[in-house]
Amino acid sequence: MKITRGPKGYRRIIPSMTALVEFEAVARLSSFTNAAAELGVSQAAVSRQVRFLEETLDVKLFHRLHRSISLTVEGESLYLVVAESMQKIAGVFDRLSTGIEQQELVLASTAAFSQLRLLPRLASLKKLQPQLKLRLTTQMFTADLRHNEVDVAVRFGDGTWRDGSSTLLFDEEVFPVCSARWLRENAVPQSLEDLAQLPLIESDSTSEGWMGWEEWFTSVGHRPAKLNYALRCSIYTDAVQAARYGQGIALGWGRLVHDLLVSGELVRLETATCKMMDGYYMVVPHGRSITSSITGLIQWLNEDPSSI
């Protein structure tokens, strides 16, 4: 189909911007009711606009289930394009109306990444981008970015997510760590069997790819009959703190505990290490513009000279 340039041509191809706006709200919120409330119209009006799009395109955009809806393949394709376009338009309107580029970024990550990796380095980021304002939000599990007001997120995984485009930051390896005091007061484990019998600090799995002691031992080729858990924590940062205070041995995610190793607050045990297949990625949700602030943030994290 030949597209005629100019407003008449676009109007012929895109018969209703209102329908696209209401479709985007339904797709983002996964609800006709919530979309209607957000837009200030009736649910019936939203349904009519979405039905109009489906009839115009001659495709089904949503799977309508008993108490929920989900995008079809065609609906997903349309949503990604519409959401990105609307975000860009909104960004230009915001910049023109205020006269300045929006500088606050909402950055999502796990509490462990935020506390152990981001916060200790914020001073250097401020020097590079003095106008940047960050709002940090903590996610216990990988949430769907389409339903959250997040500009960019740090995730651990294989880099393949349907709700955003990802950029590799760095890889990871996992190894045992303890405090220098604990090491002075206890024998250094000479084997994996020795390590399994020492007081281990465990933390619950809270994100994709998170590894506990049992999985770690399996990954390095050893299956002990029993593990000696001295302490179990619900979050990883508590396990790290417990190791710092001499309560036993925790698993050290190298990119997260790097500063504690450099300062001597934690000591790496050379018993074994697990090289992870996955890595840390910066993920920009579909529909978000990749601004200069986001590009700078990605470069800052990606070019950090720290190593394990």
Q: How far are the Cα atoms of 26, 62, 75 from residue 83, in angstroms, in the given order?
A: 11, 16, 12
Question: Does the pLDDT value for residue 141 go beyond 70?
Answer: no
Buried b / exposed e across 172-200, counting CB within 10 Å, b at 16+? Answer: bebbbbbbeebbeeeeebeebeebbebeb
Topology of the domain comprising 173-275: D-Maltodextrin-Binding Protein; domain 2 (3.40.190)
Residue whose C-alpha is closest to residue 178's, from 244, 263, 231: 244
Residue 167 and residue 246 in contact, taking contact as beta carbons nearer than 8 Å: no
Query: What is the topology classification, in CATH, of domain 104-170+278-302?
Result: D-Maltodextrin-Binding Protein; domain 2 (3.40.190)
Averaged pLDDT, 30-43: 89
Taking the C-alpha atoms of residue 250 and residue 243, their distance in angstroms, rounded to an integer, is: 6
Mean pLDDT over all residues of the chain? 84
**Band of pLDDT at residue 131, cut at 50, 70 and 90:** confident
**What's the confidence (pLDDT) of residue 265?**
95
- Of the chain, the percentage scoring pLDDT greater than 70 comes to 84
| Bigger pLDDT: 264 vs 126 | 264
Q: Which of 11-20, 88-97, 132-141 has the lowest mean pLDDT?
A: 88-97
Question: How many whole angstroms separate alpha carbon 155 and alpha carbon 22?
Answer: 30
- Residue range 166-199, pLDDT digits in tens: 889 999 999 999 999 999 999 889 999 999 999 9
Lowest average pLDDT, out of 65-69, 114-118, 152-156, 157-161, goes to 65-69
- pLDDT band per the 50, 70, 90 thresholds, residue 7: very low
pLDDT digits (tens, 9 = 90+) for 78-127: 888 887 777 667 666 665 665 555 567 888 888 889 999 999 888 888 88
Are residues 259 and 167 in contact, defined by beta-carbon separation less than 8 angstroms? no
Looking at residue 298, its pLDDT comes to: 86
**What residue spans define the domains of the chain?**
7-98, 104-170+278-302, 173-275
CA-CA distance, 188 to 194, in Å (whole number)? 9
**Does the structure show a pLDDT above 80 at 228?**
yes
Cβ atoms < 10 Å from Cβ of 12: 11
Residue 146 has pLDDT above 90, yes or no: no
Tell me whether the CATH fold assigned to 104-170+278-302 matches the one assigned to 173-275. yes
Domain at 7-98, CATH from 1.10.3720.10, 2.30.110.10, 1.10.10.10, 3.90.180.10: 1.10.10.10
- The pLDDT score that the predictor gives to residue 193 is 93
